[in-house]
Amino acid sequence: MAFENTLMESLGIETVTLDEDRVVMKMPVDRRTLQPAGFLHGGANVALAETAASVGATLNADLEKFNVFGIEINANHIKSKREGTVTATAEPIHKGKKTMVWGIRITDEHDHLICTSRCTIAIVHK
């Protein structure tokens, strides 16, 4: 997958594991992902979570016939962070023909839960 010139590149998101049933991506907590008070921005967590879920759905879809779009996401921000790295692990809860639902856990380098999220993905005929 090409991630150049995307939000992923802007936020420094990198892939760790790409599998149909598990996607792992990491993101730095730095000037690109902080809110004005100096903590990891909740929107950066959401961007990381939706990216991981969308990539997972893409791995499960026939991209010659379908497009993949996030249609709903929620996030609970559990713990704040000022620096380091966060890692999103996305796993499917439901893989249907028209929708997929992915659960995403975002943890820090000490395996502390930073954010938990659920994302619904639409699988749409081109």
Residues with catalytic annotation? 50
Q: Which residues contact 68 (CB under 8 A, 6 or more apart)?
A: 54, 57, 58, 61, 121, 122, 123, 124
Number of helices (H), then strands (E), in the chain: 2, 6
Q: CB within 8 A of 37, min separation 6: which ones?
A: none
Distance CA 53, CA 73 (A): 10
